[in-house]
Amino acid sequence: MNATILLITFFAYTALLFFIAWATSRKTDNQSFFTGNRKSNWFLVAYGMIGASLSGVSFMSVPGDVYNNNFHYLPMLLGFLVGYGVIAFVLLPLYFKMNLTSIYTYLDKRFGNYSYKTGASFFILSRLLGATVRTFLVVFVLYHFVLKDIGVPFWIAAVVFVGIVILYTMRGGVKTIVWTDMMQTTFMIVAIIAAVIFICNELNWNIGEMFSRIIHDEHSEVFNTNWSAPKHWIKQFVSGALVPIAMTGLDQAMMQKSLSCKNIRQSQKNVITSVAMMIPVNILFLTLGAILAIYINENPMLIEAVTNASGKFEADKIFPVVAFSLKSIVGIFFFIGLISAAYPTCANALTSLTTSSCIDILDMEKRAWSDERKRKIRLQVQFVLAILFVLLIIMFNILKNDAVINMVYQIAAYTYGPLLGLFMFGIMTKMKTFDKAVPAICVAVPVICFAIEKYVFSFGFSLILLCAALTFAGMFIFSKKNTKSVNI
C-alpha cells in the first residue's frame, strides 16, 4: 500500500473534520463545551454514539475475534437491549431531574463528598488508561503503514494525532463532537460495507453465496455452551446487559452528549434509537469477521503476516493485513474506517475528562469565577490531559507488551464495577452509607475480585457484575441505621 496515498487520505479526512469543527464552534461558550447548550439534535447524538462506542481497536478486534470465538459476541449484543433500556428509563430521568452537568454530581448529593470524589476519580483513571491504549494502537497503525516509511518518529505521530483532536474540540466541545461523531460514524459504516463487497468480489461470491458460506461455516456458531468458558452465552448476555449501564450510562463521555439534548424525552429517544442502530452495525462487523476468517483460511500465505515473532496468532491483525493485501481502494477504505473510529475515542475521552476534572475535581460550578477565568482553567486542564495522553501513548509504544495492554483493558471491569455498585445502591435503596468508608470499599473490591478471577473462577466480562455486587454489599454493611429516607 502506497504510504503517500494514505497520508493524503489522512490529511483530506482531517481537513473535513476541521471544517465541521469550525462550522459548529462559532459563538460558543463554556456551556457549549460542557452541555452543547442543551440544544443537540437527538437523532444526531444517537447516530454518532455508534461511532463513539466502537473504538479503533473494536474496528479491528471485533471482526478479528470471529476467527477465534465465532459469533459468541452476538448474545452480548442482545443483552444491550436490556442495558440501554435501563439507561433510558432509569438513569436519564435521574440525571435530567437533577439537572446534572457531570453525572458524578449525583454521588455528592446522594452520599457525600468522599463518594463523589471516589466515583469521579475511578472514571478519570479508567477513561484515561482505556482511551490512551486504544489511541496508541491506532497511532501505531498510522505510524507503521504511513509515517515510518517517510522517517517520522513515533512520538511526533502521537503529538500530531492528539494535537489534532485538541484543536478541533478546543472551542466547541460537546457541540462539535455531536456533529463530528455523526460524520465519523458514516465513514466507518461505509468502510465496513465496502470491505465486505470487495472481499466477496475477491472470493467470487454474490450475496446469496456469501450468506450460504457464512451460515455453513464453523465460525457462525452463536452459543458457547461451555459453562467454564469466559464467553459462555449466558455470561455474554448478562455482560451485554450490565456493560452498557456501567460503560455508557455511568460514563461521563457517553452521557455528556445525551444530556446535551433539549429534554428528557429527546434524550430517551436518542438512547433507544442508538441501540436499535448499534446492533445491526455490530452484526455487520461480525459478518465481515466471518468473511475474513474464510478468506485467510483460503489464503494461507497471509497467516504468517498475522503471526508474531514468538509464533502467536494475532487475530486483531487479520482485517488490516487482508485489507492492505488487496486492491489499494480496500486499504484506503480500511484506513478511513480506522481513523473514523479512532478520532471519536480520543475526542470523547479528552472532552469528558476535561469536564469531569473541571466540575468534579476543581468544583468549577461551585466557584464564583468569571466566565473568562473558567474558560482559561478549562483550556489549561485540557492541555495537561493532552500531555498525559501523549506520554502514555509513548510509554505503551516503548513497552510493546501485550500483557500490559490487556491489563489496561481489564481495568474497565475493576473501575466501572464499583461505579455500578455505587449507583445501584443509591437508586435501589434509601439507606445512607458512611461517606468516608466509600473510598476504602471501592479500592478493596477490585483487589478481592482480582483474586477471585485469578484463583477461584473466571467470570469473563461478567466480572463487572461481581465488582458491582461486592460494592453494593460493602455499602450496605457500612450504611447508617435509622436514617431518614432520601428523595433523590
- Kindly tell me if the per-residue pLDDT of 482 is higher than 50: no
Asked if residue 339 belongs to a domain, the reply is yes
Range of the domain at 167: 3-402
C-alpha cell at 165: 483532536
381 or 365, higher pLDDT: 381
- Which pLDDT band holds residue 118 (cuts at 50, 70, 90)? very high
**Residue 237, amino acid:** F
Q: Report, as an integer, the average pLDDT of 141-157.
A: 80
- Domain assignment present for residue 64? The answer is yes
- If one counts every other C-beta atom within 10 angstroms of the C-beta of residue 262, the result is 14
Give the mean pLDDT of the chain: 79
pLDDT higher than threshold 80 for residue 227: no
Taking only the tens place, the pLDDT of each residue in 354-371 is 888 888 888 887 787 887
What CA–CA distance (Å, rounded) separates 388 from 134? 14
Q: For residue 394, give the CATH number of its domain.
A: 1.20.1730.10
In a domain, 80, yes or no: yes
How far is the C-alpha of 21 from the C-alpha of 184, rounded, in Å? 13
Instruction: Give me the mean pLDDT over the 423-427 stretch.
Output: 90
Q: Is residue 352 part of a domain?
A: yes
- Read off the pLDDT band of 142 (50, 70, 90): confident
pLDDT at 123 over 80: yes
Residue 18's closest CA among 179, 185, 191, 256?
179
pLDDT of res. 391: 92
**pLDDT value of residue 488:** 56
**Residue 443 lies inside a defined structural domain of this protein:** no
Residue 26 has what pLDDT?
60
Exposure pattern of 457-483 as b/e (b: 16+ CB <10 Å)? eebbbbbbbbbbbbbbebbeebbeeee
Quick one: average pLDDT of 61-75?
79
Please tell me the predicted confidence (pLDDT) of residue 425.
Answer: 93
Report the alpha-carbon distance of residue 354 to residue 404 in Å, rounded: 26
Residue 488 covered by a domain? no
With bands split at pLDDT 50, 70 and 90, how would you rate the model's confidence at 255? Answer: confident
pTM of the model: 0.72
Q: Kindly report, residue by residue over 435-480, the tens digit of the pLDDT.
A: 999 999 999 999 999 888 888 877 766 688 889 999 999 999 988 6
**pLDDT tens digits for range 182-197:** 777 888 888 888 888 8
Q: Is residue 482 part of a domain?
A: no
CB 37 within 8 A of CB 267: no
CA distance 185 to 340: 7
Our count of domains for the chain comes to 1
Decide if 118 is inside a domain. yes
Give residue 39's pLDDT band: very low, low, confident or very high (50, 70, 90): low
Grid cell in block for residue 398? 516503548
